[in-house]
Every structure is written in structure tokens, then in C-alpha cells.
Amino acid sequence: MELIITIHPDADANHIRGQLQDMGLWIQNFESGSAGHAFLSHAHSSQANIEAVRTIDGVVDVLCPSSTVPLMESMQGAPCTVNELSIGPGQGPVLMAGPCTVESEGLVDEIASIVASSGGRVLRGGAFKPRTSPYSFAGHGEQALTWLRTAADRYGLKVVTEVMSEQVVDRVCAIADLVQIGSRNMQNYALLRAVGARNATVLLKRGRAGTIHEWLSSAEHLLNAGAAGVVLCERGIQSADPNTRNLLDLGAVALLSHVHQTPVIVDPSHALGRRDLIVPLSRAALAAGAHGLLLEVHPNPQQALSDGAQALDMDTFQKLARELFVQPESTND
């Protein structure tokens, strides 16, 4: 929360600054005008007691500018609930996994069985795929939605899948527990409004050049349109370095989790684009405060129809899930 604190022109600005700092506020000189001197306290200050600030000798006024994301702020500290599954502050981390693309009924069933037995709660898989090249495989569409839902139901999993266009919003919302807005569509406001209007619970991926403010504002668009809840997903932002597909911004994850206290998960698969780094970065994501992981897996990554280079094979996935998501049995009995 930001505060604008105006002090009397004759007051001792340094003394007041010291008192504000003692209250845990991070402050900067904002303006020095005829009406007096004003301090701006930063959003990452500790929770301000506005009444206590008002009583400081020399303070004339304290303004609390209204937020640009009031609906997001009103949900601060609360998890997002997806058909009885809670994701976010105060909850244990949630594992979501599945293939990049739902390739066939058999394959998604095989993967769902392993995701469920490894402690996963949500099955991912693309039916409508955004592909850079128009010649790349773009998913099996509606048929894949049915395969995904059937496999998830068989093993007691929730479904997350991407909606790419307004034309298919109804069909995707009908089968998905968590409706994914992909990175390329983070600022497609018509799509955000259409999905929000279905009262959907949304997984909002960060645009590859999206700032945190733009990302939160897109979440606000969803809530404003009627979305039941939003889980943010960090999936890497564009960088100049070709060694990893994107740059995984764990600073943003820590900020959103610890300061904004909003549900946020990490997709290391799309962030890195290479399977050899998924395990260490999954650990790092949870250490930074992520409330869950979204992982791409495939029984035979070399033959995957999309994103094989970043898919974990099922053995590596199971080991990672055991390490990060399965609580060790208690030894006190």
C-alpha cells in the first residue's frame, strides 16, 4: 500500500522521516512544494498504521491513493478455490502436470494415471495450441477437450487447458476447472472479458514482455468481468540470451507471493525450454514462494508433437513429485 504523507513546511523533515522509518515504512522524497513537503511511502513497506502516521507531530495529511487493482487487493491473502482445490496463500503447493499437447486419448490417459499417483492434483494439456509457425501441429481441438476431461475424471484430477479465442470460450469453460489464458493473450482484453463473464476460475500466464503491473491489471480485468478467481502463472519473460527459452523471473514470484499475497504458480517448462534445468528451477520456484508448479511431461519426449525438449520423462517427473509434493511419513508413532 502506498501512502502520500504531507508535512508542515516548518516541520523537521529528517526527524519525521526517521519516525516513519521506525514504523517500517520505506519512503522517498516525493515533492517539496508551497503546501509543505510530501513523502511517498513505497508499496513494499510493512503494513502502515495510517492513524499512527497521522499523529506524528508535523504531519498535516495522509493520503492513501485508491488502488488501480482494487478487486485483486480485496483478495489479498486468500487462496483461489477451484472446485474444492485451494491454491494460494496458506495452502501447500499444488502440482499440475501433463503433456504440452493432448496428442491422443491413450497418451493422456497414461499420463493422467501417473500424475495422479504422484500427488498431482491438476492435469494440463493443450487442445488449442498457439504455435509460432502456422505449419506446426496446433492441437486436436474439441476432441482433445473430451479426452482430457475423461482422463482427469478417471483419476480424480482437475483440468487446466488453454482458451485461445472467444469463439471457443463456452466449450473450454464447460470442461476446464481452471481456464488458462496463455502468455500471448495476457492483454487480449476481449478474451479476458469473455472468459470473466463465464464466471470462470482462471490461470493467467504472464505475457512474455508483461510487467507485473500489466499482469495484475489483466487479472483485474478478469475479476471485473466476473471471474470467480485468478491464479497467476510465471512462465518466463523474454531475454536476450538464447541458452534458455525465456528468463524465469523468480523475483516477481517472491513479490506476488510474499508482498501481494496473491495466488501464483510457476511453469518452469516454458520458462527454460530444456528439461535438464526443470528439477533445480522447480525447487527454486517453491523456495521463492510459488503456490504450485505447472510441468510438461511426456512418456517419450523425443516423440512429443510439441515442446519435447522441455518435457520431463515420467521417471524424472515421479522423482521430482516425490521430493517436492509428497510429505514424508511421520516417524513418531
- Give, as one character, the DSSP assignment of residue 168: G
Question: Residue 250 or 297: which CB sits closer to Mn ion?
Answer: 297
Q: Give the nearest distance from C-beta 35 to ligand PEP in angstroms.
A: 47
β-pairing verdict for 80-82 and 85-87: antiparallel
The DSSP 8-state label assigned to residue 258 in this structure reads: I
- Gap between the Cα atoms of 196 and 165, Å rounded: 13
Give 5 or 87: the residue with its C-beta nearer to ligand PEP.
Answer: 87
Q: Which is nearer to ligand PEP, 79 or 182 (CB)?
A: 182
How many residues touch Mn ion under the rule CB under 5 A: the total is 2
By CB under 6 A, is residue 130 in contact with ligand PEP?
A: yes
Q: Which residues contact 5 (CB under 8 A, 6 or more apart)?
A: 16, 20, 27, 38, 39, 40, 41, 53, 59, 61, 62, 63
Give the gyration radius of the chain's Cα atoms: 23
Question: CB under 5 A: which stretch of 77-85, 92-100, 143-151, 168-176 binds Mn ion?
Answer: 92-100
- Asked if residue 162 binds Mn ion (CB under 5 A), the reply is no
Report how far residue 253's alpha carbon sits from residue 289's, in angstroms, rounded to the nearest whole number. Answer: 7
- 210-269: which residues touch ligand PEP (CB under 6 A)? 235, 267
Distance of CA 211 to the CA centre of its chain: 13
- Asked if residue 298 binds ligand PEP (CB under 6 A), the reply is no
Among 99, 139, 182, 263, binds ligand PEP (CB under 6 A): 182
Classified as helix, coil or strand, 290 is coil
Does residue 267 touch Mn ion according to CB under 5 A?
Answer: no
Q: Find out whether 200 and 173 touch, Cβ atoms under 8 Å.
A: yes
Strands (DSSP E) contained in 19-116 are: 27-33, 36-41, 59-63, 80-82, 85-87, 94-98
Binding flags for Mn ion, 296-325, as an x/- string (CB under 5 A): -----------x------------------
Q: Taking the CA atoms of 96, 99, 103 and 106 in sequence, report the sign of the dihedral they define.
A: negative
Q: Which residue type sits at 198? A: R
Among 16, 87, 102, 162, binds ligand PEP (CB under 6 A): 162
Q: Does 140 bind ligand PEP (CB under 6 A)?
A: no
Q: Is 100 in the site for Mn ion (CB under 5 A)?
A: yes
List of residues contacting Mn ion (CB under 5 A): 100, 307
List of residues contacting ligand PEP (CB under 6 A): 100, 126, 130, 162, 182-183, 205, 235, 267, 270
